[in-house]
A and B are shown apart, each in its own frame.
Chain A
């Protein structure tokens, strides 16, 4: 190929190499807007939506385990004492609008799906990457906040988020098992995967995040 051929080659590359689709402008803005609100509002901070392990890379700090434990305890108590959705006064006051919540829920499900898929594939080795615990902890917090934001009215979505929450709790638990106790980690993971499979959590999430079906009342 000669120098003269380069321009057509560049043109061809422009057409063929990672040609961008239409910008998902509104979808991204909804997530950005929610992130801006998190930073602006003086409420419990929510880890912002980010891809893969980016937001949670690195070893799990000690406080994460403690926070996860407190959260899990709180969720348990909350479920025993309150059969219906219990609005959180602080969050209700700052609740974003329906579109933002819908986008945030879809985005959250998509990210959780990435984690669950990875955990499912890693479970065969019985090992859990330390960052998974922090990642799952962040998602767990976010799941609870979505449920508590008093905006999830659709029972299908609420049920899905509650199932997701339970799976995430188990993953957080598995991730914080002593690193030398491989057998226990494997057992915790098996339980998490089993629960996930029994309730078709992954496939329900895929449908919801891809199509928005079941999120209309979010």
Chain B
């Protein structure tokens, strides 16, 4: 599920969201559950893209929501709740990956292959490794923007807010990420992308 880049919360949705946050702040589990339901797919998907590992993705997602719950008082409503939440989500995932090392953990999971859905796979294992290596080889600042924008459909304003950078920087990093991928993959992927 990649959400449309053009999707923006309506005014009504924002007001409703603020009410939910207020209720959650006052201890309403139901309100927080609604906020969770509205956002968990996107947070989990992004966490999984970044970690490549179901356990870590689950940990990062859980941590994100628990931190949000703890810090609801700090949410001032200047931005959408989802924007604020994604700032926490990205920081949680990046910090977690720095601690655990993203490559080692994912390799462990690749060995058991439990997360694979073979019928959906178009690449042979060698080509998949090449592709994976190319994306993994990107610097963190490029990889994160690439995963958010191109794979998960985040807009540049969303990425800029989540990563604390200007929109122009987000665009420049995406450009660099794509360029590096093109250079890294060279001719090898040509047969798969036609």
> Chain A interface (Cβ within 8 Å of chain B)?
1-3, 5-6, 8-21, 23-25, 27-29, 31-33, 35-36, 39-40, 48-54, 57, 110
Query: What's the dominant secondary structure at chain B's contact region?
Result: helix
**Least Cβ distance of A156 to chain B in Å?**
24
Task: Report how far A35 CA is from B48 CA in the complex, Å.
Answer: 21
Q: Which residue in chain A gives the minimum CB-CB distance to B52?
A: A18
- Chain A residues in 8 Å Cβ range of B120: 15, 19
Say yes or no: A17-B132 contact (C-beta < 8 A), given A8-B193, A9-B193, A27-B58: yes
Task: Report how far A33 CA is from B62 CA in the complex, Å.
Answer: 10
- Is B40 close to A, CB under 8 A? yes
The reply to whether B150 and A13 form a contact with Cβ atoms under 8 Å apart is yes
The reply to whether A5 and B61 form a contact with Cβ atoms under 8 Å apart is no
Task: Report how far A57 CA is from B182 CA in the complex, Å.
Answer: 38
The reply to whether B59 and A12 form a contact with Cβ atoms under 8 Å apart is no
The reply to whether B36 and A29 form a contact with Cβ atoms under 8 Å apart is yes
What's the A-B contact tally at a CB cutoff of 8 Å?
Answer: 136
**Least Cβ distance of A27 to chain B in Å?**
7
Determine which of A11, A19, A28 lies in contact with B58 in the assembled complex, contact meaning CB atoms within 8 Å.
Answer: A28
Say yes or no: A18-B49 contact (C-beta < 8 A), given A9-B181, A25-B40: yes
The reply to whether B150 and A1 form a contact with Cβ atoms under 8 Å apart is no
The reply to whether A17 and B115 form a contact with Cβ atoms under 8 Å apart is no
Q: Which residue in chain A gives the minimum CB-CB distance to B135?
A: A17
**Least Cβ distance of B36 to chain A in Å?**
6
The reply to whether A12 and B131 form a contact with Cβ atoms under 8 Å apart is yes
Return the 6 tightest CB-CB contacts between A and B, nearest first.
A51-B59, A8-B193, A20-B48, A18-B52, A23-B44, A20-B45
The reply to whether A15 and B122 form a contact with Cβ atoms under 8 Å apart is yes
- Is B77 close to A, CB under 8 A? no
Determine which of B51, B58, B135, B181 lies in contact with A24 in the assembled complex, contact meaning CB atoms within 8 Å.
Answer: B58
- Chain A residues in 8 Å Cβ range of B192: 12
B182-194 interface mask toward A, CB cutoff 8 Å, 1 = contact, 0 = none? 1001110110111
Task: Report how far A35 CA is from B59 CA in the complex, Å.
Answer: 12
- Chain B residues in 8 Å Cβ range of A29: 33, 36, 40
**Least Cβ distance of B185 to chain A in Å?**
6
The reply to whether A39 and B57 form a contact with Cβ atoms under 8 Å apart is no
Which residue, A11, A23, A24, A35, has most C-beta atoms of chain B within 10 A? A23
Q: Which residue in chain A gives the minimum CB-CB distance to B63?
A: A50
Task: Report how far A110 CA is from B132 CA in the complex, Å.
Answer: 27
- Chain B residues in 8 Å Cβ range of A52: 56, 59, 99-100
